[in-house]
Amino acid sequence: MSDLAFQSATHPMSLTIFDLDNTLISDDSDHLWGQFLVEQKLVDSEEYARANTQFYNDYCDGKLDINEYLRFALSFLAEHPLEKLHQWRQQFIDEKIRPLVLPAAQQLVDKHRNMGNQLIVITATNRFVTEPIVELFGIPNMLATEPELINGRYTGEYIEEPCYQHGKVTRLKKWLRANKMDLNDSSFYSDSHNDIPLLEKVSHAIAVDPDPKLKRHADEKHWPVISLR
Protein backbone atom coordinates (compact mmCIF):
# COMPACT_ATOMS: atom_id res chain seq x y z
CA MET A 1 0.00 0.00 0.00
CA SER A 2 2.99 2.28 0.44
CA ASP A 3 2.99 3.39 -3.20
CA LEU A 4 -0.48 4.90 -2.69
CA ALA A 5 -0.07 6.28 0.81
CA PHE A 6 0.45 9.99 0.34
CA GLN A 7 0.66 11.56 3.75
CA SER A 8 -1.08 14.85 4.34
CA ALA A 9 -1.73 16.66 7.59
CA THR A 10 -4.10 19.07 5.89
CA HIS A 11 -6.59 16.42 4.70
CA PRO A 12 -7.25 14.09 7.62
CA MET A 13 -10.64 12.95 6.29
CA SER A 14 -11.07 9.35 5.20
CA LEU A 15 -11.72 8.50 1.57
CA THR A 16 -14.73 6.33 0.70
CA ILE A 17 -14.67 4.90 -2.82
CA PHE A 18 -17.64 3.39 -4.63
CA ASP A 19 -17.81 1.38 -7.79
CA LEU A 20 -20.95 2.29 -9.75
CA ASP A 21 -22.35 -0.51 -11.91
CA ASN A 22 -23.94 -3.39 -10.00
CA THR A 23 -22.82 -1.68 -6.79
CA LEU A 24 -24.71 1.59 -6.34
CA ILE A 25 -27.15 0.68 -9.13
CA SER A 26 -28.56 -2.79 -9.74
CA ASP A 27 -27.32 -3.24 -13.31
CA ASP A 28 -24.52 -2.18 -15.65
CA SER A 29 -25.02 1.31 -17.10
CA ASP A 30 -22.55 0.74 -19.96
CA HIS A 31 -24.38 -2.38 -21.17
CA LEU A 32 -27.78 -0.72 -20.62
CA TRP A 33 -26.75 2.31 -22.68
CA GLY A 34 -25.96 -0.04 -25.56
CA GLN A 35 -29.35 -1.72 -25.15
CA PHE A 36 -31.03 1.69 -25.08
CA LEU A 37 -29.38 2.68 -28.37
CA VAL A 38 -30.65 -0.56 -29.92
CA GLU A 39 -34.20 -0.06 -28.57
CA GLN A 40 -34.29 3.52 -29.87
CA LYS A 41 -33.04 2.27 -33.27
CA LEU A 42 -30.11 4.67 -33.10
CA VAL A 43 -27.66 1.95 -34.14
CA ASP A 44 -27.62 -1.06 -36.47
CA SER A 45 -29.69 -3.06 -34.03
CA GLU A 46 -28.79 -6.71 -34.51
CA GLU A 47 -25.05 -6.32 -34.99
CA TYR A 48 -24.71 -3.71 -32.23
CA ALA A 49 -26.74 -5.76 -29.76
CA ARG A 50 -24.61 -8.84 -30.42
CA ALA A 51 -21.34 -6.95 -29.92
CA ASN A 52 -22.67 -5.14 -26.84
CA THR A 53 -23.59 -8.44 -25.20
CA GLN A 54 -20.28 -10.08 -26.13
CA PHE A 55 -18.25 -7.23 -24.65
CA TYR A 56 -20.31 -7.37 -21.45
CA ASN A 57 -19.77 -11.12 -21.14
CA ASP A 58 -16.03 -10.59 -21.68
CA TYR A 59 -16.06 -7.98 -18.89
CA CYS A 60 -17.84 -10.37 -16.52
CA ASP A 61 -15.28 -13.06 -17.38
CA GLY A 62 -12.38 -10.67 -16.74
CA LYS A 63 -11.07 -10.92 -20.30
CA LEU A 64 -12.35 -7.69 -21.86
CA ASP A 65 -10.07 -6.05 -24.44
CA ILE A 66 -10.66 -2.54 -23.08
CA ASN A 67 -9.22 -0.77 -26.13
CA GLU A 68 -11.38 -2.73 -28.54
CA TYR A 69 -14.41 -2.15 -26.36
CA LEU A 70 -13.84 1.59 -26.11
CA ARG A 71 -13.54 1.90 -29.89
CA PHE A 72 -16.95 0.25 -30.06
CA ALA A 73 -18.58 2.20 -27.21
CA LEU A 74 -17.26 5.66 -28.09
CA SER A 75 -17.88 5.51 -31.84
CA PHE A 76 -21.56 6.38 -31.36
CA LEU A 77 -20.65 9.54 -29.45
CA ALA A 78 -18.48 10.70 -32.34
CA GLU A 79 -21.34 10.37 -34.85
CA HIS A 80 -23.77 12.83 -33.24
CA PRO A 81 -23.79 16.43 -31.99
CA LEU A 82 -23.55 17.02 -28.25
CA GLU A 83 -27.06 18.47 -28.00
CA LYS A 84 -28.68 15.31 -29.40
CA LEU A 85 -26.46 13.08 -27.26
CA HIS A 86 -27.52 14.93 -24.12
CA GLN A 87 -31.20 14.60 -25.04
CA TRP A 88 -30.85 10.85 -25.51
CA ARG A 89 -28.83 10.56 -22.33
CA GLN A 90 -31.48 12.34 -20.29
CA GLN A 91 -34.12 9.95 -21.61
CA PHE A 92 -31.82 7.04 -20.76
CA ILE A 93 -31.30 8.27 -17.19
CA ASP A 94 -35.03 8.81 -16.62
CA GLU A 95 -36.24 5.57 -18.18
CA LYS A 96 -33.43 3.11 -17.47
CA ILE A 97 -31.30 4.33 -14.58
CA ARG A 98 -33.56 6.00 -12.01
CA PRO A 99 -35.46 2.71 -11.38
CA LEU A 100 -32.12 0.98 -10.67
CA VAL A 101 -30.91 3.35 -7.96
CA LEU A 102 -30.77 1.20 -4.82
CA PRO A 103 -32.25 2.90 -1.74
CA ALA A 104 -29.79 1.03 0.49
CA ALA A 105 -26.94 2.35 -1.67
CA GLN A 106 -28.14 5.93 -1.22
CA GLN A 107 -28.35 5.33 2.54
CA LEU A 108 -24.78 3.98 2.53
CA VAL A 109 -23.52 7.01 0.62
CA ASP A 110 -25.35 9.33 3.00
CA LYS A 111 -23.91 7.49 6.02
CA HIS A 112 -20.36 8.04 4.81
CA ARG A 113 -21.13 11.65 3.91
CA ASN A 114 -22.50 12.25 7.42
CA MET A 115 -19.32 10.73 8.87
CA GLY A 116 -17.39 13.50 7.11
CA ASN A 117 -15.70 11.19 4.63
CA GLN A 118 -14.54 12.33 1.21
CA LEU A 119 -16.63 10.46 -1.39
CA ILE A 120 -15.60 9.36 -4.88
CA VAL A 121 -16.96 7.01 -7.54
CA ILE A 122 -14.44 5.11 -9.65
CA THR A 123 -15.97 3.47 -12.72
CA ALA A 124 -14.72 1.82 -15.89
CA THR A 125 -17.78 3.14 -17.74
CA ASN A 126 -17.13 6.35 -19.64
CA ARG A 127 -17.87 9.76 -18.15
CA PHE A 128 -20.55 10.63 -20.71
CA VAL A 129 -22.77 7.80 -19.46
CA THR A 130 -21.90 7.93 -15.76
CA GLU A 131 -21.60 11.59 -14.79
CA PRO A 132 -25.35 12.21 -14.43
CA ILE A 133 -25.74 8.89 -12.56
CA VAL A 134 -23.12 9.88 -10.01
CA GLU A 135 -24.92 13.23 -9.63
CA LEU A 136 -28.08 11.34 -8.61
CA PHE A 137 -26.21 10.18 -5.51
CA GLY A 138 -24.79 13.63 -4.75
CA ILE A 139 -21.23 12.28 -4.83
CA PRO A 140 -18.88 15.20 -5.60
CA ASN A 141 -15.92 13.32 -7.15
CA MET A 142 -15.61 10.74 -9.87
CA LEU A 143 -12.98 9.00 -11.93
CA ALA A 144 -14.20 7.39 -15.15
CA THR A 145 -12.88 6.44 -18.55
CA GLU A 146 -12.58 9.78 -20.36
CA PRO A 147 -13.91 10.19 -23.92
CA GLU A 148 -11.98 12.78 -25.92
CA LEU A 149 -13.97 15.96 -26.59
CA ILE A 150 -12.58 18.52 -29.05
CA ASN A 151 -14.42 21.70 -30.08
CA GLY A 152 -17.70 20.40 -28.66
CA ARG A 153 -17.60 17.05 -30.47
CA TYR A 154 -16.57 13.63 -29.25
CA THR A 155 -13.81 12.13 -31.39
CA GLY A 156 -14.42 8.44 -30.65
CA GLU A 157 -11.03 8.30 -28.89
CA TYR A 158 -10.29 8.46 -25.18
CA ILE A 159 -7.74 10.34 -23.11
CA GLU A 160 -5.76 9.11 -20.10
CA GLU A 161 -5.61 5.48 -19.04
CA PRO A 162 -8.97 3.66 -19.09
CA CYS A 163 -10.38 3.45 -15.58
CA TYR A 164 -10.40 -0.35 -15.64
CA GLN A 165 -8.70 -3.00 -13.48
CA HIS A 166 -5.15 -1.73 -12.70
CA GLY A 167 -6.08 1.50 -14.48
CA LYS A 168 -8.32 2.35 -11.52
CA VAL A 169 -5.27 2.18 -9.24
CA THR A 170 -3.22 4.38 -11.56
CA ARG A 171 -5.97 6.97 -11.94
CA LEU A 172 -6.69 7.07 -8.19
CA LYS A 173 -2.99 7.44 -7.40
CA LYS A 174 -2.87 10.53 -9.64
CA TRP A 175 -6.06 11.93 -8.07
CA LEU A 176 -4.74 11.42 -4.54
CA ARG A 177 -1.56 13.32 -5.38
CA ALA A 178 -3.54 16.20 -6.90
CA ASN A 179 -5.82 16.38 -3.86
CA LYS A 180 -3.10 15.85 -1.23
CA MET A 181 -4.93 12.84 0.17
CA ASP A 182 -3.95 9.30 1.10
CA LEU A 183 -5.55 5.91 1.63
CA ASN A 184 -5.30 5.88 5.42
CA ASP A 185 -8.59 4.46 6.73
CA SER A 186 -9.97 4.33 3.17
CA SER A 187 -12.86 2.10 2.06
CA PHE A 188 -13.83 0.72 -1.34
CA TYR A 189 -17.18 -0.88 -2.18
CA SER A 190 -17.36 -3.02 -5.34
CA ASP A 191 -19.17 -5.99 -6.88
CA SER A 192 -16.55 -7.02 -9.44
CA HIS A 193 -13.42 -9.16 -9.49
CA ASN A 194 -12.10 -6.63 -12.03
CA ASP A 195 -11.68 -4.28 -9.04
CA ILE A 196 -9.49 -6.61 -6.97
CA PRO A 197 -6.33 -4.57 -7.80
CA LEU A 198 -7.84 -1.52 -6.09
CA LEU A 199 -9.65 -3.48 -3.36
CA GLU A 200 -6.20 -4.79 -2.37
CA LYS A 201 -4.90 -1.23 -1.88
CA VAL A 202 -7.49 0.25 0.50
CA SER A 203 -7.76 -0.11 4.27
CA HIS A 204 -11.27 -1.56 4.16
CA ALA A 205 -12.37 -3.61 1.13
CA ILE A 206 -16.09 -4.41 1.04
CA ALA A 207 -17.61 -6.78 -1.52
CA VAL A 208 -21.12 -5.66 -2.53
CA ASP A 209 -23.37 -8.33 -4.06
CA PRO A 210 -20.13 -9.75 -5.48
CA ASP A 211 -19.67 -11.82 -8.60
CA PRO A 212 -18.48 -15.41 -7.91
CA LYS A 213 -14.78 -14.65 -8.41
CA LEU A 214 -14.86 -11.67 -6.05
CA LYS A 215 -16.93 -13.64 -3.52
CA ARG A 216 -14.26 -16.36 -3.40
CA HIS A 217 -11.49 -13.77 -3.07
CA ALA A 218 -13.37 -11.85 -0.36
CA ASP A 219 -13.92 -15.04 1.62
CA GLU A 220 -10.21 -15.90 1.39
CA LYS A 221 -9.25 -12.39 2.52
CA HIS A 222 -11.99 -12.22 5.19
CA TRP A 223 -13.40 -9.08 3.61
CA PRO A 224 -16.96 -8.14 4.57
CA VAL A 225 -19.59 -9.15 2.01
CA ILE A 226 -22.78 -7.07 1.98
CA SER A 227 -25.89 -6.73 -0.15
CA LEU A 228 -27.56 -3.47 -1.15
CA ARG A 229 -30.33 -5.27 -3.11
Convert the pLDDT of each residue in 135-161 to its tens digit.
999 999 999 999 999 999 999 999 999
The per-residue pLDDT for 132 is 98
Could you tell me which residues are beta bridge partners of residue 22?
A: none
Q: Is 36 helix (H, G, I), strand (E, B) or coil?
A: helix
Number of domains composing the chain: 1
The per-residue pLDDT for 10 is 43
Q: Is 18 helix (H, G, I), strand (E, B) or coil?
A: strand
Q: With a cut of 50, which residues of the chain have pLDDT below it?
A: 1-11
Q: Which residues are catalytic?
A: 19, 21
The per-residue pLDDT for 142 is 98
The per-residue pLDDT for 6 is 38
Write down how long the chain is.
229
Give the integer Cα–Cα distance in Å for 190 and 22.
Answer: 8
CA 63 remoteness from chain centre: 17
Q: Which domain holds residue 131?
A: 2-226
> 75-103 pLDDT, tens per residue?
999 999 999 999 999 999 999 999 999 99
SS (H, E, C) 47-77: HHHHHHHHHHHHHHHCCCCHHHHHHHHHHHH
The per-residue pLDDT for 12 is 62
Residue 228 phi, psi (nearest 5): -110, 10
